[in-house]
A = this chain, B = another copy of it.
Amino acid sequence: MELLREHGYDAVTVAEIAERAGLTRRTFFNHFDDKRDLLFAGAQDLQDTTVHFVTTAAPELSPFDAALEAFTRAGAMLAELVPFERQRRTLIDSSQALQERDLVKAASLVNAVARALQVRGAPAGQARLSAATAHEIFRAAYERWSTAPASDFSELMHSTEADLRAALAGEQPSD
């Protein structure tokens, strides 16, 4: 991670990362499919955690509220990983290949949450719209948090949700 930050993601080879970590190239590949996986090792955890929170959310919550609560709880856990998450985000933003991988992981996360909402009884269409909208609130709250990591993640989720509701209510820019 340190090495990637010093030299930029695209300039660092797997061999250099392995050397810095005191591993042979072969050992490194036993752990990670490629260097991109190094940065996305947590994505499956995030997905599993979020799905778990959807599955265990109170049955009386609507699909959207269940998804929103799950992203809020998972995001609050993620927000404890400062400063790793900020470094990771800076690296991802520096490389087109990493941004593409990030999009793939995000799409997988939305699909997994939508499936979990369907297990709770939501029809496919409602599940997908709820999961995608809750994820967009999560994405925007996470972006806000990454520029102000001292802030409370749940608060950011609530204020971002309020912003989205205002936008859908046809609120005009106040400038």
Interface residue ranges, A against B (CB under 8 Å): 62-65, 99-100, 103-104, 107, 120-123, 125-126, 128-130, 132-133, 136-137, 139-140, 144, 160, 163-168, 170-173, 175
New A-B pairs, 13, CB < 8 Å, besides A132-B139, A168-B168? A62-B172, A64-B168, A64-B170, A65-B170, A100-B104, A103-B107, A121-B173, A125-B144, A126-B163, A128-B140, A129-B164, A132-B136, A133-B164
CB distance from A30 to the nearest CB of B (A): 23
CB distance from A32 to the nearest CB of B (A): 19
B residues within 8 A CB of A103? 100, 103-104, 107
B residues within 8 A CB of A128? 140
Q: In the complex this chain forms, how many copies of it are found?
A: 2
B residues within 8 A CB of A122? 173
Partner of A171, one of B104, B121, B126, B172: B126
CB distance from A159 to the nearest CB of B (A): 10
CB distance from A118 to the nearest CB of B (A): 9
CB distance B170 to A62 under 8 Å? yes
What are some 17 contacts across the A-B interface (CB < 8 A)? A62-B172, A64-B168, A64-B170, A65-B170, A100-B100, A121-B173, A123-B173, A123-B175, A126-B163, A126-B166, A126-B171, A129-B137, A129-B160, A129-B167, A133-B133, A133-B164, A168-B168
